[in-house]
A = this chain, B = another copy of it.
Amino acid sequence: MPREITAYSNPLIKRVRNLRDKRHRREEGLFLAEGLRILTEARETGRLPEMLFFARQSARHPLVQALVEAVEAAGGDAIETTPDILAKLSGKDNPQAVVGVFAEFARTLDAIDRRCAPLWLVAEKLRDPGNLGTILRTGDAVGAGGLILIDDCVDPFSVETVRASMGALFTIPIVRARWEEFVPWLRAGPGQLVGLSLDTDRDYRGVRYIAPTFLLTGNEAQGLPDAYEAECDLLVKLPMLGKADSLNAAVATAVMAYEVLAQHRG
């Protein structure tokens, strides 16, 4: 049976609300995900929240009921609460019907098998949570083996990233690694490291991509450091015909990823 919390002063509410803050996420190893669509996506991939908050008003929704049952069957905590408290947890005036508290699950390089997919996405010092979430969605769509986050990227478990990922956070493996770990791991097996760059004349369509391709995107403002570009097997660029001189990092990653996908399929 779900229990009920209706007092905003309940210490659990404060603790969960604090997960909007990176330091608390790190200390607890937990993060927040909101919304029936994202939590259902998570459930379908076998990820259940340790705590599930839902409003009484939505308790009869079949997808909410399915979530409550699954969480309780797995030994988790299903908590009925008020719209006000949900709004406080989600930081939105118009809160989603459900908020889940999940255990973080990023992996290390030695936990992945590069042979399971022909394409891997790699992002270096990505700073914008919306871009990271969007890249996770793209990774899911192109069937990437995973997203490898290099050096100090924005937290993949921030509320903003989870929201922008529309559930893809749960469907595609996320790996965190320093560049100094990534390069030896990469070179210990098959694979081509392809960097997106403005410092090359090689058009992205004029290249054959082998499998596995590791597609490396740099920081939104600076692009890739010179030393990282030097490590790439191949640098490619997208044509830019306009007056502005850049593309959004998530967009550039997606255009590249779809080209690699088309070649691998065709």
Question: Which residues of chain B have C-beta atoms less than 8 A from A244's C-beta?
Answer: 41, 137, 140-141, 166-168, 171
Supposing A167-B244, A251-B250, A254-B255 touch, asked if A238 and B130 sit within 8 A by C-beta, the answer is no
Question: Which residues of chain B have C-beta atoms less than 8 A from A164's C-beta?
Answer: 248
Task: Tell me, yes or no, whether A205 is within 8 Å of chain B by CB.
Answer: yes
CB distance from A245 to the nearest CB of B (A): 9
In Å, the complex CA distance between A45 and B261 comes to 37
In Å, the complex CA distance between A121 and B63 comes to 37
In Å, the complex CA distance between A167 and B243 comes to 9
Known: A141-B246, A167-B244, A168-B244. 15 other contacts (CB 8 A): A41-B243, A134-B250, A134-B251, A137-B248, A138-B251, A139-B242, A140-B242, A141-B238, A141-B241, A143-B241, A171-B243, A172-B242, A241-B261, A247-B254, A248-B250
Q: Can you report 30 residue pairs joining A to B where beta carbons are below 8 Å apart? A: A134-B248, A134-B250, A134-B251, A137-B247, A137-B251, A138-B247, A138-B248, A138-B251, A139-B242, A140-B240, A140-B242, A141-B239, A141-B240, A141-B241, A141-B244, A142-B242, A143-B241, A166-B244, A167-B244, A171-B243, A171-B244, A205-B262, A205-B266, A239-B261, A247-B254, A250-B251, A251-B254, A254-B254, A254-B255, A255-B258
A interface residues with partner B (beta carbon < 8 Å): 41, 44-45, 130, 134, 137-143, 164, 166-168, 171-172, 205, 238-244, 246-248, 250-251, 254-255, 258, 261-262, 265-266
